[in-house]
Amino acid sequence: MSGASLLALPARGAFSLPAVAVSHGWFQTAPFAWDPDAETLGRAERLEGGPVDLSMAGRDGGVAVRADRALEAAERDVAELRVRRVLQLDADLTGFDEAARAVDPALADDLAGYGGGRVLAGATLFEDVVKGICGSNTTWRQAVASINRLAELGPPGCFPGPADVLRAGEDHLRGVVRVGYRAPAIVAASRAAIDGTLADIEADSAAGDGDRVHAGLIALAGIGPATAGFVILLMGHYDRPSIDSATIRVAAERWFDGARPKPRDVLRRIEPAGRYRGLVLAWATLRVWQRETGLVSP
């Protein structure tokens, strides 16, 4: 087939592609490609008819997605589902501004001006889990390097599927991808994707059962509380704060006059955000990260 396909996908509520695209570091990992000048987000996806390059650009009320080849109807449906997950287009953020304001009015003003709320996700839970494992107990720079080496296991430009990872094997993950002790956990995540374990977690998510989703994530090899808290955020469950050294540091500077709080102190501080307490804490941390890394102006 020749030609290209164009999808026009509306978002639920206000939407800012630049704010979602660089909400956290996923945009620096394959298969994402962010163009800050054109404000377009690209990624390649493996569809039934083969790999396709998708280019996402903001439009009134949502996003326009251009595929570099014509898509069959079934491929269009899959591409739409993946873009909707990646950009959290269906997220209902009603009341998020009020929740952030109840915790920190200055943060709420900052997020309102920036367009913060939704967070960038992978096209599949498998992608998010694997990237989360790669990012645990290491620097972000090292995590990006290992994720991008791992991405080479898939079709050109596409994130690998679980079968691709299993074919490569644990020795390849250690020696070539250089994920170190994380290799067995990545292999286990690949098996969990194939045997239906990840599908069960996604089914619990669709049913709105955050407790079961969190328990399912924690049960995965290589996924600790902080990583589980981050991945569940990408799945649209915003009430579970992920507390790690970064959030503790930001909370100390922002809310505790520089004194290092205990996790329970942070939880009490963000409690007024209610069902958005995890998202409010995440964005408080992300805005600091964005400014420290030069992604946004001070």
What is the percent of the chain with per-residue pLDDT over 90, rounded to a whole number?
96
Residue range of the domain that includes 64: 5-90
Structural domain includes residue 256: no
Structural domain includes residue 113: no
Q: Give the pLDDT band (50/70/90) at residue 2.
A: low
How far apart, in Å, are the Cα atoms of 129 and each of 23, 92, 125, 255? 18, 23, 6, 31
Q: Which two tokens stand for residue 254?
A: 């922002």
Q: Is 54 helix (H, G, I), strand (E, B) or coil?
A: strand
Render pLDDT for 122-155 as a digit per residue (tens, 0 to 9): 999 999 999 999 999 999 999 999 999 999 999 9
| Same domain flag for 228 and 130 | yes
Mean pLDDT over the full length of the chain: 96
Render pLDDT for 209-249 as a digit per residue (tens, 0 to 9): 999 999 999 999 999 999 999 999 999 999 999 999 999 99
| Same domain flag for 152 and 59 | no
Structural domain includes residue 141: yes
Residue after which a domain boundary falls, among 90, 117, 144: 90
Cα–Cα distance, 283 to 96 (Å, whole number): 11
Q: Give the pLDDT band (50/70/90) at residue 3.
A: confident
User: Does 184 have pLDDT greater than 70?
Assistant: yes
CATH number reported for the structural domain that contains residue 215 in this entry: 1.10.340.30
Query: Residue 1 has what pLDDT?
Result: 41
Structural domain includes residue 277: no
Which amino acid, 75? Answer: E
Structure pTM?
Answer: 0.96
Alpha carbons within 13 A on the beta-carbon side of 141: 1
Render pLDDT for 38-56 as a digit per residue (tens, 0 to 9): 999 999 999 999 999 999 9
Residue after which a domain boundary falls, among 218, 234, 250: 234
Render pLDDT for 80-107 as a digit per residue (tens, 0 to 9): 999 999 999 999 999 999 999 999 999 9
Residue after which a domain boundary falls, among 90, 116, 150: 90
